[in-house]
Amino acid sequence: MILQNLHTHSLWDDGQNSTDEMVRAAIAAGLTSVGFSGHSPVPFPAEWTIAKEDLPAYRAEVRRLQKAYAGRINIYCGLEWDLLSERDFADCDYVIGSIHHIPLETETINVDNSPEETKRYLSACFGGSADAAAKAQKPTVSRRAARASRYSAADARSASRSKRR
């Protein structure tokens, strides 16, 4: 049986533990694999994401852990790719798509805010209807998802081959 967690965050973004602590906890919990899915950089200041300039070091740290724990647990390097992030999947084993912000004409709304903030957004923009908000965002999300999905299985195979060289 495969026991894994591929949606984890560490001190590189908004997690509470180092990547090494996370791996040791995964082993102690009996997991067969763990994946780091750091929040991708967004085009505005955000403390909960990996800084763009830190992506190479983040990826190198996960690769170091893969070697250090080889034979004990499978470790994967991923990103939780935000709707507003640039597409930079270099050296990723996998990508999780996410929507943390919704761009509006006058502001960008963080969907992880309080219930009160969400109600304010829905009331101000969509007459209080979450269904109307989802329907209005569908074209934007669909375009972004299509762009991200161009990272295909062929891209993953190519990245895997280049790592082995």
82 and 101 Cβ atoms separated by less than 8 Å: yes
How do 94-98 and 74-82 pair as beta strands? parallel
81-90 as b/e: b if 16+ CB within 10 A: bbbbbeeebe
Q: Which of 5-9, 47-51, 100-104, 138-142 has the lowest mean pLDDT?
A: 138-142
Residue 34, pLDDT above cutoff 80: yes
What is the pLDDT, as a whole number, of residue 41?
93
pLDDT digits (tens, 9 = 90+) for 82-126: 888 888 888 899 999 888 877 777 777 777 778 888 788 788 778
Overall average pLDDT of the 3-9 stretch = 95
What is the pLDDT, as a whole number, of residue 40?
93
Taking the domains of the chain in order of start, what are their residue ranges? 4-164
Pick the CATH number of 4-164 from 3.30.460.10, 3.10.310.10, 3.20.20.140, 1.10.3720.10: 3.20.20.140
What is the pLDDT, as a whole number, of residue 4?
95
The mean of the pLDDT values for the chain is 83
φ and ψ at residue 111, rounded to 5 degrees: -75, -5
Nearest to 95 by CA among 103, 104, 106, 86: 86
Q: What does the DSSP 8-state code read for residue 117?
A: H
Q: Tell me, rounded to whole angstroms, the distance of Cα 139 from its chain centroid.
A: 21
